[in-house]
Amino acid sequence: MKLEVLRISSEGTSTNGILFDVTDGKRKFLSYTLEDEYRDEKVSGKTRVPSGTYNVTLRTEGGMNQDYNERFGTDFNKGMLWVRDVPGFEYILIHIGNTAEDTSGCLLVGDSQNNNQITEYGFIGSSTNNYKRIYPPISQVLLDGGEVEITYVDYDGDIGISPSYEKTITVPIEITVKVK
Residue 171 pLDDT exceeds 50: yes
Of 96-105, 106-115, 127-136, 156-165, the range with the lowest mean pLDDT is: 156-165
> What pLDDT does 32 receive?
96
Q: How far apart are CA 33 and CA 49, in angstroms?
A: 13
Q: Which long-range contacts (CB under 8 A, 24 or more apart) does 137-141 make?
A: 137/1, 138/1, 138/3, 138/56, 138/81, 138/94, 139/58, 139/78, 139/79, 139/81, 141/1
176 vs 131, higher pLDDT? 131
Domain edges within the chain: 2-165
Note the pLDDT of residue 164: 44
pLDDT digit string (tens) for 76-104? 999 999 999 999 999 999 999 998 889 88
How far, in Å, CA of 26 to CA of 65, rounded?
Answer: 31
Question: What is the DSSP track for 12-61?
Answer: TTEEEEEEEE-TTSS-EEEEEEEEE---SS--TTS-PPPSEEEEEEEE--
Range in 4-13, 42-51, 73-82, 159-168 the model is least confident about: 159-168
pLDDT at 2 over 90: yes
What are 30-61's pLDDT values in tens digits?
Answer: 999 999 998 888 888 889 999 999 999 999 99
Helix (H, G, I), strand (E, B) or coil at 174: coil
User: In 84-126, where does DSSP find H-type helix?
Assistant: none
Residue 10 has pLDDT above 90, yes or no: no
Query: Model pTM?
Result: 0.83
Dihedral sign computed on CA atoms, order 170, 53, 144, 25: positive
Return the H-helix or E-strand segment holding 143. helix 127-143
Does the pLDDT of residue 130 top 90, yes or no? Answer: yes
Mean pLDDT confidence for 25-32: 96
